Structure 1
Amino acid sequence: MRFTFKHPWIHLTPALSAIALDDILSGNTCQPIGLADFESYLEHKEHSVENLRFVVWYQSYRRRFFALPPAKQKLSPGSRQFSFALPTPARTAQHISRMSSRATTLVYDEPLTPNSALHSPTTSTSPTLSRTSSVPLTASSSIPSRAYMHTAPEKQPLRDECTLVAATFLLPSAPYELMLPSLLLSTILRDVALNTHPDVFLPAYEYAYDALLTSSLPRFLEIAQQNMNWEKKLYWWLYGIMTSCVGWAIVIGCLFISYDSHTTQGRLRAWRLLGVPFLSLGAMQMYAAYRG
């Protein structure tokens, strides 16, 4: 599904307005609107690179999970259908209700011990997470005390990677902590202890994707638009500076023009106003260059 968003205060050219977030994530764009450029912008300008890294990781994780043999996928049951939608209060409440209901009605064959549900990760196969440090993680106290697992957590597919993701993006004070509603966050952490199916992380993915689509991407494209018009910007900068210099020359020149004694004031100060149109025009031209 292809999502686009038009920001009410950001005006882009038709070509850039047609750029979707998926185009950048899939590598279909090049500099200066490539994936590396977008990541650099989020890291150094908006300081919200955690959203992009989580989205990239989740898409990779979902592909790798469903590439596993069916027998391994059954160890972490869930739907194969990708029911993605942008988050709304109603959808968030639906997620919490569905996840909570599933956690309280499951029946397991083997006892679930709190310390075995989430343990310290050792290695990760995700390139997105290779730049982050491993943080020990223990089971949340919100795990049902009478829950029983039909499969031990350490035997679930990609368990270490899920633990590392929770420690990197979800726990309080995590290196790349996502901004999520507290109730939804606690629900996700509880489900991570019970399951490694990609649907466990789907609510967090929707929030991170929405933040990129509606906030970060329009601003990133606006800056890229300015950078792509650098020749035109240079022209208007020079034109604006030259026009302003003409205006200042008129104003300063009027200060040194003397008149005969028949002139009422000796110096016609009103003549300085001749420079105002040039100064105003120069300022507008330089502002246009600044805005790209």
Structure 2
Amino acid sequence: MVYSLTYRRPSYVTSSSSSSIDGDEKQRRSSLESGSSGLSAGIPEALSFDKIISGGVCPPCTVRDFMNYLKYIEYSAENLQFFLWYRDYVARFENLPASEQALSPEWTQAQAEAEAARGGRGKQTNPQVSEILNGTDFADGQGGKIDGQADPFHTPARSSTSVDKPRAPSEYASSAGDHTFASSQGAKSVASQAFGDAGMKWQPFTMQPYRDEISRIITVYIADGAHRQLNLSAREKQALLHALQNTTHPSAFQGIANTVEFSLRKQAHPNFIRWTICNGNRPRVIFARGLGIFCIVAGFIADLLITLSHAGRAWRVLPIIIWILGFATLFAAMKGMCVVLHGLHHRHLRPWELFSDDADGMISEKAMSHDSLVSSSTNSFEDEPWIPKYKKRNIIRKIFDRQIWIDEPALRQIQDTIFLQSILGAFVISAVIVGIFCAVPHGNLF
């Protein structure tokens, strides 16, 4: 079974094509498109973004394959890492008791606009938190005021002689590949620096749930120079820090969550599907293109010799077989497919998969765990052992690298469609060329 013969694989999407849309428009479009069904922009419903994230697909289209693509090909794994953390954080927050959730009220759009209008002139206590603490022992301490009472969470500013310069994230973070948490003290220090750079003071309510984790997230994804720093505008970053001054409710992240999700849905996901359709590595695809061109040239030479000879016109039809093979191979290779691998429904192993074993599969799953998503390790892979090993492989070995069966039925269906399109296109072009040769008079040269 194949898709329509008019099927076109997803177009390559650049970051500039969606960067001019604001957050609200991104949220609206993303919600509309997430509910669509059928074949959309060359992506079937079985390979939709939501299907992949929910784990409803088979290799090589799983969320782990998606993560590997973003890490090794697009160099933007931080978007998917933050997105997965945020989904997990929302679920964990919703499972908290109501009494703990009440400490971190929802951050509304009206509050966001009010904070933006204030321009970051320090922190004001959220009135909902003030109401919760009013009349309790926590309202009787020293420091700032909450509705006329002492704010136990206000920490007096240290003197200029005692304040140390905030250290860089790398001083607290683990080395690359280490998935342990950065220290709480280090995360808070870097968070303070991030707020200072934005002209705000970092005076969070320590009783709010997941406050330490929020500090780590700022250190890993938000602060300038963070190992997984998200590509956020100054306005988005400032709005987020304003919100996190007041609450740890997931709604504080809603703005950048919309931006990250829109980027994943509209850029990373279509590019991932387009890349996954390719069943051969680059050396194999280049080899397939060369083979297709060779067959086409051989067909022309054969038909030209027949035309110049005394042979009958019927003999001029024979090279059509070579032309069909050549054009079909070339057309498929232009879309990253090798017809030989497709005939077996195989694909080449990716370079980072070639030198792995079963134990590495467990390591990869661990890399998708919560601890890894909030760790301060980088997404750099220059030191991974497969890189020098793959570089040492000669070109012939790369062309005939190890193969593996394609498990995902929807992906095989897309490849079947592209293969059929290549065959039909090759047949039409070959028939036209043969017709032209048959119309040419005999050369009678030999």
Corresponding residue for residue 270 of structure 2:
218
How much does 1:66 deviate? 1.4
Q: Which runs of 5+ in 2 are unaligned?
A: 1-30, 128-145, 159-168, 170-177, 309-318, 336-417, 419-446
Match of 1:56, SS?
helix
Residue from 130, 136, 155 that aligns with 1:113: 155
Corresponding residue for residue 190 of structure 1:
242
d(CA) in 1 for partners of 2:76 and 2:90?
23
- Cα distance change, pair 95–153 in 1 and its aligned pair in 2 (3 A): closer
Corresponding residue for residue 97 of structure 1:
113
Deviations 1:133-156 (A, max 9, x none): 5553243235767x9x8xx62221
d(CA) in 1 for partners of 2:261 and 2:111?
16
- Cα distance change, pair 131–247 in 1 and its aligned pair in 2 (3 A): farther
Corresponding residue for residue 47 of structure 1:
75
- Cα distance change, pair 211–98 in 1 and its aligned pair in 2 (3 A): farther
How much does 1:179 deviate? 1.1
How much does 1:192 deviate? 1.8
Residue from 263, 288, 291 that aligns with 2:332: 288
Match of 1:153, SS?
coil
Q: Which runs of 5+ in 1 are unaligned?
A: 84-90, 121-128, 258-274
d(CA) in 2 for partners of 1:105 and 1:153?
9
Deviations 1:40-75 (A, max 9, x none): 111111111111011100010011011111111111
Corresponding residue for residue 256 of structure 2:
204
Instruction: Tell me, yes or no, if the aligned pair for 2:47 and 2:61 is still in contact at 8 Å.
Output: no
Corresponding residue for residue 12 of structure 1:
42
Corresponding residue for residue 54 of structure 2:
26
How much does 1:77 deviate? 1.2
Deviations 1:205-246 (A, max 9, x none): 111100000001011111223339xxxx9xx87983663362
Corresponding residue for residue 90 of structure 2:
62
TM-score (norm 2): 0.44
- Cα distance change, pair 5–282 in 1 and its aligned pair in 2 (3 A): farther
How much does 1:99 deviate? 4.8
How much does 1:253 deviate? 7.4
- Cα distance change, pair 220–39 in 1 and its aligned pair in 2 (3 A): same
Deviations 1:85-138 (A, max 9, x none): xxxxxx9xx88515536965735351533889xxx9xxxxxxxx9467555324
- Cα distance change, pair 27–219 in 1 and its aligned pair in 2 (3 A): same
Match of 2:79, SS?
helix
TM-score (norm 1): 0.64
Deviations 1:138-191 (A, max 9, x none): 43235767x9x8xx6222111111111111111111111111110220221232
d(CA) in 1 for partners of 2:111 and 2:232?
13
Corresponding residue for residue 215 of structure 2:
163
- Cα distance change, pair 243–76 in 1 and its aligned pair in 2 (3 A): same
Alignment of 1:111-150 (within 5 A): 112-113=154-155, 130=179, 133=182, 136=187, 137-139=190-192, 140-141=195-196
d(CA) in 1 for partners of 2:155 and 2:199?
10
Match of 2:51, SS?
helix
- Partner AA of 1:3 in structure 2: E
RMSD: 4.5
Alignment of 1:190-269 (within 5 A): 190-227=242-279, 240=292, 243-244=295-296, 246-247=298-299, 250=302
d(CA) in 2 for partners of 1:285 and 1:60?
45
Match of 1:155, SS?
coil
Between Structure 1 and Structure 2, how many residues are aligned? 240
Q: Percent identity between the aligned chains?
A: 24
